[in-house]
Structure 1
Amino acid sequence: MTNEETISVLNDLIEVSKDGEREFHDCAEEVTDPELLNFFTKTSQRCAEGAAMLQEQVRRLGGEPETEGSFSGAAHRMWVNLKTAVTGADKTSILKECERGEQHAVEAYEKALQEDLPSDVREMVEMQHNGVIANMERVHTLLQGQMQQ
């Protein structure tokens, strides 16, 4: 895989990470529950840290890193904001949207891992993939707990 192809894969993951950062930040602004607020805030920060690691790797490879999320991520947030304005910001709805966003992130990381990435890049992407899976599982657990109430 060429540096340019690797940079392209990493830039796609930067967009996904930036989308996650923004989505979890927005969710934190919508909740008052201390557990959810803490989770959303910390997860947003971890997404930002992940994006920064990816950006540094792109620079190391001689590329120009993405700095924003994706268009589809922005469109998804607009839809969520509209839906929230119409239906209210209940915890179940917020968690369902987070779960949907994390599923998208898992798929993006799995797609990246199908590429022939250099070993140091693969190691970082695998580590972040594991983090995204953990986020998705935590959101799922919180959602299940919320739906049982």
Structure 2
Amino acid sequence: MSDNNHDISTLNGLIETTIDSADGYTEAAKDSDGGRFVTLFTSRATERREVAARLQQEVARLGGNPEDDGTVLAGAHRMFLNLKAVVTGHDDKAIVNEVEAGEDHIKAKFEDALGDMELTPAVRSVIEGCYTSVKAGHDEMRDIKHSMQH
């Protein structure tokens, strides 16, 4: 297993970030003003949980213990967002801005991993497959954010 430690560590970092993203989408769906974004956010949360499950399967295949929770920092960030939502009201534009910032974060994490030349080809392939979904989510939220600024 020692040969797999770097792959497992990288995958587990992505799992945490992806779970954070799924949790963020779930919270955004709860905080959203109306039905316009609830379906989108709920769908993205489900998609992110599927990505996390795929990464977890790869960690297990490598003989590691897959992460099954997000990061403590992200939990604290969501608590702050919930407080902010209570103070400012459930403003969809503010929620989309926060979601898009989270999308920038997860996209960067996956891109960093893809730039890691120490990963095995099999793990890189799994990450590339998951990145397709992450990038699509990022691009969609970026486009929505820009459309709301006009």
Per-residue CA distance 1:99-135 (angstroms, 9 max, x = gap)? 1111110111111112222212111111222221211
* Partner residue, 2:139: 137
Residue 81 in structure 1 maps to residue 119 in structure 2: no
Deviation at 1:49, TM superposition (A): 0.4
* Partner residue, 1:91: 92
Moved more, 88-97 or 72-81: 72-81
Over aligned residues, Cα RMSD in angstroms? 1.4
Using the aligned pairs only, state the percent identity.
34
Do the aligned residues in 2 keep the contact of 1:95 with 1:139 (CA within 8 Å)?
Answer: yes
* Partner residue, 1:66: 67
Q: Secondary structure at the match of 1:66?
A: coil
Do the aligned residues in 2 keep the contact of 1:13 with 1:108 (CA within 8 Å)?
Answer: yes
Deviation at 1:32, TM superposition (A): 4.5
* Partner residue, 2:123: 121
Deviation at 1:36, TM superposition (A): 1.2
CA distance in 2, matches of 1:30, 1:71: 21
Do the aligned residues in 2 keep the contact of 1:14 with 1:67 (CA within 8 Å)?
Answer: yes
Do the aligned residues in 2 keep the contact of 1:103 with 1:136 (CA within 8 Å)?
Answer: yes
Length-normalised TM-score, structure 2:
0.92
Per-residue CA distance 1:29-65 (angstroms, 9 max, x = gap)? 1224333111101100010001111111101100001
CA distance in 1, matches of 2:115, 2:147: 34
Length-normalised TM-score, structure 1:
0.93
CA distance in 2, matches of 1:36, 1:145: 14
Which amino acid counterpart does residue 9 of structure 1 have in structure 2? T
Q: Secondary structure at the match of 1:2?
A: helix
